[in-house]
Structure 1
Amino acid sequence: MDFVKNYFKYFETYEILLFLFIFLLFIFGSVIFIDIKSNSKLINYAYSFQKELILKVKDKIESNSVKFQREAENLINIIEDNRTVDNDGILIFKDKKIVVDNSDIYFDDLYSFLSKIDDFYLIKIIKRTPYVVYIFKKSNYLVIKYQEIKEIVDEVVPKNFYFVLIKDNKTYFLSDSLYGFKFEDKKYYTASYENKDYIVSSDLLFDNFKAYVLSNKTDYFRIMNKLERVSLINVFIGIIFIIMLILIRYYIGRFYYEREKFEHLFELEHEKFESIVEAIGEGVVLIDKNYNVLWANNYIRNFVDLNEGDKCFSAICGNENVCEKCNLNDVIKEKKVKTYRYKDFIKGKTGHYDVILSPLLDSQGEVVAVVELIRDLTDLVNLQIQVQESENYLRNILENIPDAIITFDADYKILTTNIQAQKLFCENKLVDDDIRNYINDNHLFELLKSNNLVEHFDTYIQNNEKNIPVRISALEIINENDKHSLMIIRDMSKIRELEAQLIEREKLSALGLLAGGVAHEINNPLVGILNFAQLLDKRLPEGSYEKRLVKTIIEASKDTKNIVSNLLLFARHKEGEYSNFDIKESIDFALKILGSTIKKKNLNVNVDILCDSVVYGNRGKVHQVIINLISNAIDALKSGGCIDIKFECIDDKKIFTVRDNGIGIPDEVKSKIFDPFFTTKEVGKGTGLGLAIVKSIVEEHGWSIKVKSEKNSYTEFKIIMT
């Protein structure tokens, strides 16, 4: 009821009565002039409707044929896969032989009859029943499907209609109730049968089959009368006309009512707008084209004495002329917002301000005024200054750190570097380059990718064609949802020099002791032996047994002299000389140096070289590694023990192995054997630097060393050379 009252409050009483009178007049006229379909129009409609049913049957057969083509393809695939076909109504020939027969219908010469037909379907009368025969041919296959036309007709034709086929003056009824009906060779006609009038439509279906559709004329009249009496078009037109009149009157009245309402709302919104402008905490000034102030909020009025009509540059800024950066004319001309940054913009108040000029347009798109928004940025600018100072402080720290610091993204593009990084790589500009161009060690980046953290990774970098040893620590960090990496690179050159000096001292100490022993124990007797043997060789007759013995003495003396010479060569070998050499020579050299100890303990030494034994490295240092490993193996063995030395290639790696069957290494000290000055030997028999030097030399070459041991069973050292 409230809705009706609100709706009709804009109408007068006489207007409501007038609308009711016009509405009743339209209803009365509509009842008199109802348009009922004539008998001829109804029959014509029936003819066309029944012909459409014949066409729908024809379309249905064609649609079923298309579906059968796809189905037949699948059936052939099923047969090729030796699976069972269980589809009803299917007959399949392969090489003129029946391979599938799921149909109860068959006639003689079926294959020869259908194989000559080029169509995809046809109508065949079998046992007085019309069937649609669908045909599919592919290579040596012929697939056939039967479907009664009655099934298709039942899907398409309504129950009150009769469907009949005629070919060669033979009639095929699909219903039992019209056997006595006489059909004429006409497209459209009416006929009587058993005191009932029928409307008949006919059309050609397929293969000279003519289709007839019949329906009872009385049923058509009954249905159409119901439809026509319900659809009173004129009544609806009248109702629509009345509704339009009511709506027009309603909106005219509502216009005046809404205008008063909106005027009141505008006053409220204006007050609300002023409240919002006052509450935003920023200065808002309305200025005309001549720099005159039209309006300003209290934020500005609290700082300056401002009246309407004052010049903005004088009243707000305290200037005699237009502000230096202000370009009010460009804002009006271009109709675009412009922003300026000022310092001490408001007179009598210090600080930083953003001044935003925005054009105010009318409905025609013309500028009528300019809105000036004054935003105080003093706190923000001071904060930016503090951030900048803090950033500079941190930058100074990073620049003065002795280690190189580099950050790079997920694509390995360098983002930032410090000065030490530029010095280390001798590059003034590293940013945007690929870090892998400077650190060529894929293993490092694989570790970082898998573990997100790498600590104390030793490798080499190229600097002016010089290998520089470095120690790298890297960490993956998240920066605004992007994955970046921080890398700290320490130049290990000085540390490596100190280690080399320590190694050199150990080597020189060992060689000094050995050389002293060689000088006293070998050199003096060796000269006498060699001289006297050569004198005897000259005096003894050729071919005598004694002469052969003397020659053996001379050869043994010369071998001993070569051992001393090799030892001195090893002691004098220069640091850092890398070259390709045969590691078998290093093994032979070590076995000659340690040969006397091996013979004294009666040890068995087996050497297996299973692949190309040429390696790239420092020959002298590799000599030292092999001597230390074999020497440790000798110390761990008792008389009659065995040492196995093997060099093999696995994938792209070369592996050098020294294995003994001695006392082994206890588990509690296994983790300490590479520590400097750690030894399990008696006092005076070891310095504890042997394996530490071995590990240092191996890592210096970029190789790795592994140890396996079982107490009282064996010890095995493997050097993996990449």
Structure 2
Amino acid sequence: MSTLKEFAVQKLHSFPQFENVPLDQLDWLVENSRICTYMTDERIMEPGTEVDKMFIILDGRIRIQLPRGSSFTSIGDFVTGDISGRLPFSRMQSTLAHLVVMEDTTILETHEDLFVEITKRYELIEAFVHSLSDRIRSFTSQQQQNEKLVALGKLSAGVAHELNNPASAMVRGATELKKRLSQTPDKFKSVMSIKLTNDQIDAVNDLVFKKAGRGSSNQQSLMERTALEDELTDWMEDHGVETGFEYSETFAEYCFNTEDLEFVSSHVEDEYLPAVLGWIEDVLTTEKMMEEIEDSARRISDLVSSVKTYSHMDRGTDKEVVELKKVLKSTVTMLNHKAKQKKVEIELNIPSDLSEFYGYVSELNQVWTNLLDNAIDAVPQNGKIEVKAEEKNKNMYLFFKDNGSGIPEDVLPKIFDPFFTTKDVGEGTGLGLDVVHKIIEKHGASIDVESKPGQTTFELCFPLNN
């Protein structure tokens, strides 16, 4: 045996997975394999490359890079002692990743034609079976983690966008309010110079705060609003209010009309009318800003509440009552940004009088998220998704229905298989529905799917005695 082959046998024997393999079996493996050396930065494989050999890294390091759009993501390294490629009993046909040599590497390559002979050597095949099992566990765990990180990234981006809108509105409102308040001293002087009786003040106050209490109106059409603004502007110009055009938009928004202005005019002397109308406009504008700030703060609070419900913060990990309407609504909120990008309508039909059922809420949130996320991807622009719940025969049924293009017949039997995906390379790991299936089984429930062009329905059935 040559010095290189002796080196290979010694290296194999030093690896933990081969420590119980007799030396004669390792000698036989090396004699019937090929020893190859690859230089730093050399690419050994590309995505789609057919894999017909087993690789044992005798020395060196190789990086695994998955395509992500136009770039690559490193998901780990093969180092000295690792086994890769096509192992005995493996169903691997081709690689999904780039394999890039990070430092000069020596590999023992064994062609699949030798696998039948390997199975006749018990200790040797046992070592490879253990390695295959370890590889499956490691890869599955890593891919599940990647799936969670990708999902988290999508949800985080959506929530950040949803939070940004009301937060920006609050900043705008607060800035404008601060600007208004800086003008208060001058307006205060104008108002304080007015000599009105208590009855006059009460009459104007009652009208203003009655209008303000109703809030701004969105019931008018654009043409109606424009016509009203023109009428108000004309009235104020006729009554010597030179800045009336600045007030008319706010007055119209709070449904002031010329009769209301006549009422104010009847209680205020002409010389004081501009100052009084300016004060009224200031009160209404401030009210409007406070409404916008309050509405934005409420939207942020609702989003935070949805995030807490979705992530199951402040809760234990035991089974508990699943508040279907609440948890599904929070999931829709988390995916709302993605849905709005395609103008997808998500309709929840969840009766309030459903019986209680128990489950692991945080895991079930993964189920709702995967099914809704896939549905959003599947439907066309302006598509529709319906989530419906009903109770019958001591079971809780949930239906996730979308009007997408449907799942092809040849694909349908495979959708719950681990690592099966129809998405482009780098866009899906093929573990989403596999995770859904496992969580459903953990709950003693079942999941079925029916699909045809224009409609796909996932049916989930949870026993109520769980």
Please tell me the TM-score bracket, short chain as reference.
0.3 to 0.5
The higher-RCO structure (CA 8 Å, 6+ apart) is: 2
More strand by share: 1
In terms of Rg, which structure is larger?
1
Q: Which has the higher helix share?
A: 2
TM-score (norm 1): 0.28
